Structures are given as structure tokens and as C-alpha cells.
Amino acid sequence: MDNLALCEANNAPLTPITFLKRASECYPNRTSIIYGETRFTWPQTYDRCCRLAASLLSLNIAKNDIVSVLAPNIPAIYEMHFAVPMGGAVLNPINTRLDAKSIAAIFRHAQPKILFVDRNLETLARATLHLLPDEEQRNLLVIFIDEPDRPKRISSNDPLDYEELIRRGEPSSSSVARMFRIQNEHDPISLNYTSGTTSEPKGVVVSHRGVYLNALSVIMGWEIGTFPVYLWTLPMFHCNGWNLTWSVAARGGTNVCIRHVSAPEIYKNIELHGVTHMCCVPTVLNILLQGNPLDMSQRSTPVQVLTGGSSPPAALVEKVQRLGFQVLHVYGLTEATGAVLFCEWHDEWSR
Amino acid sequence: MDNLALCEANNAPLTPITFLKRASECYPNRTSIIYGETRFTWPQTYDRCCRLAASLLSLNIAKNDIVSVLAPNIPAIYEMHFAVPMGGAVLNPINTRLDAKSIAAIFRHAQPKILFVDRNLETLARATLHLLPDEEQRNLLVIFIDEPDRPKRISSNDPLDYEELIRRGEPSSSSVARMFRIQNEHDPISLNYTSGTTSEPKGVVVSHRGVYLNALSVIMGWEIGTFPVYLWTLPMFHCNGWNLTWSVAARGGTNVCIRHVSAPEIYKNIELHGVTHMCCVPTVLNILLQGNPLDMSQRSTPVQVLTGGSSPPAALVEKVQRLGFQVLHVYGLTEATGAVLFCEWHDEWSR
């Protein structure tokens, strides 16, 4: 018997962080995240996010402070989509494909208080920091994200890392209550930069209400049922993964996180975990064609694929569909809080 | 390519009347309503609602005035779920099973300006009016709803009827713009009375925002895809038909309206129109067992049935499912803007 978070929200502020608490209560045995050998349940993800948020508060993160993250689709960046706004701060996910100069420009504009960095991107992060004025460097606390199964740090001289913040975070019941007490649904939840194809990256502030409604819009437009198994091929730094970060929690789904997007990695995860949904920019549709495809004809339903941006060529869509994928085309933009147009299939088109 | 009304709503007030405009634009060829031989498309329903709203405005209906309706599940009461709030007024659907005394109590409390009455309920309406003080009777404009295919009135001495209001309504582009300009999403959209099982019926005011969110909640909780064919067995006067009045428009679905709920009527409409969804209180589940069931084994998917109130006995659910229905149990209450708990199926329950 599941309480849809929507209803209590009639008068309460609309915010997607309620999806997390609901998932931990309604789906206590369901897997929230799979990443290699690492697995979490929804209650574990909820607990980790509460701890991280408590740690952010203890680091004196104040309302509307910016917390940046430079990471591929690893569990930490997923958790930060909840934990950072639970701490009252604003998430700023950074495109890992940008060069140091572009990232430095974003930092000068966004003025983050904390930067979380995936350990494998340490070189890029350090190059970026060197481009910043000394004072900005001093004001920016850098915290590295190591693999979740890495041994704990031994000496207290080691710098703080992500897992350490989660371990030391101790949410009291009053601080948890505070985390969910969003004052105004129009408050910012994330600061996203456009990819900068036309000029300097532009900052787009999205609100709790905006992403809540868009996360539901994606569920409706793509007809995502309960318990999707969602493969993270689309970067979460790309417009919050088209808000699917939050949609998957709303549906009690499973996030399959992968560090590298390649055909073998995609097909391996589809087979291992029974992936039902994934988002692919046209480039990734091409990657699907390269692989050594599984025999997906045994599956009762195809893997649902959302593709965005410019319309992919019909021939490409046909080839991908023959491999066992069902493609839905959407259009959206960072400035509009994600996907805004869905090409819903009309039965008569099949004739 | 369909614009989900949700997105434009990020900052615009949340109101389900936007679902109607969107349906008329995105699904211009889809059937909105089937009622016997009568059929409308979404653009026709949109046009009829604009005309009715314009007529209400010309009758000097002001913001937050109450417009009552006493009717079974005929097209008029469906249209009024949009047209009345488009005119700025508040819909008050009345339980047709109440006696004159109870309805009079509601009128004394709600103080409606207009009462729309299905012609077949004229006796009940007149008995109710006789119980009201003279002044209240004089202040209440009564408009009858005849069958849509009834001949037009001939003499101007005939009293106004529903179809006449639609014919004479002439929405200008500025009045249409006004109809969609809801100032505050917390404004009332409907005044619903509880069934009065515990004491006098209690009035519950629901807001544009509340029913918008609940209409989406039902779509998600019941996993209603695009283009459902919804059979109106649940009365629309019952908590706005659990908000499915608005959900069906949001999904571009088809409303199959029936005047009487009986097994032959239900099975006939399932067969004729390919019904995909219906809501049944436990009594109606029992009605399903009485009929002369079709062979529904040829259907690719069962008819989805939402049942509410107290949990139906397992044996009853099993019998109904063997007939080709898939039952989902929900719990809700008028005071909570409809269904708030959905018993989502967990795969492991099938083992």
C-alpha cells in the first residue's frame, strides 16, 4: 500500500526530494543503485543522503550555497541530487568533457563553496583550480570521491573524502525534518550550465517545483511504470539527466550506474540487470549498433530508449529497433528544465 | 509531437483545464466522448466548453459562484468539469441518489446561482426546490439538460436548456484567454459533498492545484498510458469521478458515458468501444459477475479496473479477474481530493 508523495503535496511545497523518503518507505526491499559490485536499497540511499546532507550542514553550507560536482555517472552524483538540496544548497553538476578553462569560467560565475571531484578527474580539477585567483581557490573546499569499495582512510591527515562525509554525517530527527522543510517550491535546486556550443556556457537555475513537475512529465510522456531498471548512459551532469535522477526515485526504480558508455558495457548491464529504460543521444544510438548484441528476442518487451536533440535519421532508428529497442523521440533544452516535447506514438502510424 | 501541458505550468498556475486545450491541439482527431450515438472529438469538446463558459459569463456568473449539477454520467456533466471553472465559477456535482431533503440541505449550504438538471431528474429537482425558501428559489436559475440529439427548442418561450446555452455561447478570443487565466492555483474548482453516511453531508472545497496533482497522481498510480478508453461506471458526482474527469483529458483518452450501470450495458460498451479502464466500487464488481460475459480471452490486455473504498474480498477479486479484468485497489476520500493510496503490484507477490 503505497502513499504517492503527490497527494500530501497538494499544499506542501512541490519538491522531488520527497520522492526519496517515499521510496525508502514504500519500497524498502528494492534496489536503488547498482554500480559494479556495489548495491544499495532505497532505505540505504535515503540514509546515505541524510548523512551527506547532515555533513554538508556541519561544513556550514548555507541556504542557496552552490555545491559543484565533477563526476561521471557514479552513485555519488546520483545521491547528491537529493543530499545537496536536502542541505538547503544548490547542486551544480559540471560537464566532465569541458576543458579546465571552461570549467574555471563556470566556477568564476557560480562561486561554489564545495567541489566534489571523482578521483579519476583529479588532474582536470587541479588544472581548473590553478586557473582561479588564489582567494577563490582558498574559499573552495575540494572533496574527492573514491570508489565506494575503496579501503577507508587510515590517518586523520588524509583529506576528507566523500565516503568519509557519509560515515561521519549524523542526522538527528530534527535535522532530517529540517532537510525536508523546503520553504518555497520556487527556490533553486540546481544550477545547470548549457554545453556552450553557441557561446560561453550559460547558467540555468531550475527550481524544486520545476524539476518536480518535469520529473512527473517524463514519467507520463515516456509512460514509465513502477520499478523501471534505468541504465545511466545519459550523463547526470546533462540537465540533471533530463530529470530522470528524480523520476527513477518517484517510480521506485533501480539506477544502473556505469562509468564508461561503450557497447560491451551497455549490453553487459542490460543482460545482467534486466534494464528496461535508457536515454541515448544520437551518438549513443550509434554505439548500440557497434556492439556484439545479445539475442534480445527472448525479452517480453523491448528496452525503452528515449532519444533527444535533433531527430535521428529514420534508418538509424529502424536499425536500433531491430536490435530490440523501442525508441521515443523527445525535444527539450536546459533552459526549459529538460524535455518539453514528446513524440507520442499514435496507433494509426503503425498502419 | 505533443506538448505536455505540465511543462508550461512550471510557473503558470496548475489547473486541469489546460488539459482540455492541450487535448484539442495535440489530439485533434481523437474521440473525446461517446454516448450512445453521440460522439465528440477533443476539438469539439473544447469548443462546446468554451461556448458554455461564454454563456455562463453572459448570465453574470461571477468568480467563485457555485454552479450545481444534478445528473448521471452524461456528456454534460463531463463538459461542466471544464466549462464551469473556465467561467471562473465552482462546480458543485450533486449525488443523484440523495433525497430532496438532503439536496435541499446542500443548496442551503452551497447557495448555488445556477442548477443544471438532467431532464430525467426533473421530479427530484422540483421536490427539492419546493423545500427551499421562496427567495432562494427565485435566486436559483434552473437549466435542464436534454439528450444531445433532442430537437432544438422551437419557441423562444421554452425555457433555456443546456444545448441552447452551448449554441448561443460565443467565445471571443479575449474571453477564451480570460477563461484560461486562473489567477491563483489555490482557488476553488469544485465543491464536493461527502455522501453523508456518518452525518449531514460535509462540503469539501478542492482547488485547481489539488485536482491537477491528483489527476496526475491517478495517471501514475494506475499507470494510465496515452489514449485510454474509459468507461464511466463511477459517478462523476462522486468526488469528480476520482478526478478521472480531468485525467482522461490529460491522456487524450475517450470517455464512454452511460446513463445506467448494468451488466449488459457495461459489457456492450466494452465490446463496442474497446474499453481499457473503468472504476468500480465493490457493488459494481458484483454487477460484473451477474452479466452474460463476453469472451474477453481474445483481448491482448485485460480491462483495468480501479476499485476503491473498503478492500474487496479476495474471492470476489479472483472471480472478476477470471472474467478478464485486472483489479487495482485504491483508498481515498473526498476530503483528501480523491484517491491517496494505491496498492501497487509487486512482482514477488505473483510467486
Residue B348 C-alpha cell reads as 514477488
Which residues have a Cβ under 8 Å from the Cβ of A2 and sit 6 or more positions away?
A22, A26, A27, B221, B341, B342, B343, B344
In tens, the pLDDT along A208-241 reads 999 999 999 999 999 999 999 999 999 999 999 9
Cα-based angle A203, A207, A212 (whole degrees, multiple of 5): 130
**What is the model's pLDDT at position B5?**
41
Q: What are A337's three cell numbers?
A: 528544465
What phi and psi, each to the nearest 5 degrees, are found at residue A34?
A: -120, 130
Residue A101 to chain B, least CA–CA distance (Å): 33
For B252, half-sphere exposure in the C-beta direction (CA atoms, 13 angstrom radius) is 23
Predicted pLDDT of residue A54:
95
Instruction: Give residue-wise pLDDT tens across range A258-305.
Output: 999 999 999 999 999 999 999 998 889 999 998 766 777 677 789 999
ipTM of the complex: 0.91
Query: Which residues from chain A sit within 8 angstroms of residue B217, using beta carbons?
Result: 4, 6-7
Distance CA B305, CA B277 (A): 6
What grid cell was written down for B250?
A: 490529460
Residues of A with CB under 8 A from a CB of B: 1-4, 6-7, 9-11, 26, 186, 207, 209-210, 213-214, 216-217, 219-221, 223, 225-227, 250, 331, 336-337, 340-345, 347
- Cβ B121 vs Cβ B71: under 8 Å: yes
Work out how many CB contacts closer than 8 A connect A with B. 95
- Counted residue by residue, chain B has a size of 351
For the stretch A166-183, pLDDT in tens is 999 988 878 888 787 888
Q: Give B-chain residues touching A9 at CB under 8 angstroms.
A: 213
Residue A11 to residue B325: CA distance in whole angstroms: 35
Cα A135 from Cα B284, distance rounded (Å): 72
CB pair distance less than 8 Å for B10 and A337: yes
What's the Rg (C-alpha) of chain A?
A: 20
Q: What local confidence, expressed as pLDDT, does residue B146 receive? A: 94
pLDDT at A9 over 50: no
Rounded to whole angstroms, how far apart are CA atoms A89 and A53?
Answer: 9
Spacing of C-alpha A19 from chain mean position: 14
Q: Which residue of A has its CA nearest to B14?
A: A213
With contact defined as beta carbons under 8 Å apart, do A23 and A138 qualify?
no
CB contact set of A336 (below 8 Å; sequence gap of 6+): B7
B344 contacts in chain A (CB < 8 Å): 2, 26, 226
Is the pLDDT at A42 greater than 60? The verdict is yes
Q: Do B9 and A213 touch (CB under 8 A)?
A: yes
Instruction: Give how far the C-alpha of residue A293 lies from the chain's centroid of Cα atoms, to the nearest Å.
Output: 27
pLDDT for A45: 98
The amino acid at residue B347 is: D
Higher pLDDT, A1 or A100: A100
Residue with cell 486545450: B21
Best mutation target, A1, A4, A185, to test chain B (most B CBs within 10 A): A4
Collapsing DSSP to helix, strand or coil, B93 comes out as: strand
Residues of chain B with pLDDT under 70: 1-10, 151-158, 292-293, 297
Kindly state the percentage of chain A with pLDDT values over 70: 93
Spell B204-231 as b/e; 16+ CB within 10 A means b.
bebbbbbbbbbbbbbbbbbbbbbbbbbb
Chain A CB contacts of B209 below 8 Å = 10
Cα angle, residue A268 at apex, residues A264 and A273 outer, rounded to 5°: 155
Predicted local distance difference test score (pLDDT) of residue A156: 60
Contacts of A181 (CB under 8 A, 6+ apart): none
The DSSP symbol for A148 reads T
Instruction: List Cβ<8 Å contacts ≥24 apart for B268-276.
Output: B269/B231, B270/B231, B270/B294, B270/B296, B270/B303, B273/B34, B273/B229, B273/B231, B274/B229, B275/B229, B275/B230, B275/B231, B275/B303, B276/B228, B276/B229, B276/B230, B276/B301, B276/B303, B276/B304
- By C-alpha distance, the chain A residue nearest B227 is A346
**What pLDDT does residue A10 have?**
54
pLDDT score recorded for residue B348: 79
Phi, psi dihedral angles at B322 (to 5 degrees): -65, -25
Which pLDDT score is estimated for A152? 62
> For residues A212, A215, A217 and A221, what is the CA-based torsion angle, rounded to 10 degrees?
-170
Q: Which residue of B has its CA nearest to A220?
A: B220
Nearest to B336 among A7, A340, A345 (CB): A7
Report the gap between the CA of A10 and the closest CA in chain B (Å): 5
Contact A339, A242 (CB under 8 A): yes
List, in order of start, the domains of chain A with CATH numbers: 42-206 (3.40.50.12780), 208-350 (3.40.50.12780)
B334: which DSSP letter? Answer: G
Residue A73 is predicted with a pLDDT of 98
Q: Order of strands, edge to edge, in the sheet holding B31-35?
A: A2-3, B338-342, B325-333, B303-307, B277-280, B229-232, B254-257, B31-35, B38-41
Burial class (CB in 10 A: 0-12, 13-18, 19+), B155: exposed
Question: In 10 A of CB A160, how many CB atoms?
Answer: 16
Share the mean pLDDT of chain A.
90
CA separation (Å) from B227 to A271, B42, B269, B276? Answer: 32, 12, 16, 9
> Under an 8 Å CB criterion, which residues of B touch A?
1-4, 6-7, 9-11, 26, 186, 207, 209-210, 213-214, 216-217, 219-221, 223, 225-227, 250, 331, 336-337, 340-345, 347
Quote the CA–CA distance of B262 and B233 in Å, as a whole number.
Answer: 9
pLDDT at B175: 81
Q: Per the CB < 8 Å rule, is B343 touching A1?
A: yes
Select from B2, B4, B15 the least CA-distant residue to B215.
Answer: B15
Give pLDDT tens digits for A327-336. Answer: 999 998 888 8
* Among the listed residues A228, A219, A237, the one whose alpha carbon sits nearest the alpha carbon of residue A68: A237
pLDDT digits (tens, 9 = 90+) for A65-96: 999 999 999 999 999 999 999 999 999 999 99
Check residue A155 and give its pLDDT: 62
Residue B151's pLDDT is what?
63
Q: What pLDDT does B148 receive?
A: 79
Q: In this structure, are residues B327 and B278 in contact, taking their beta carbons and an 8 Å threshold?
A: no
| Residues B107-133: tens digit of each pLDDT | 999 999 999 999 999 999 999 999 999
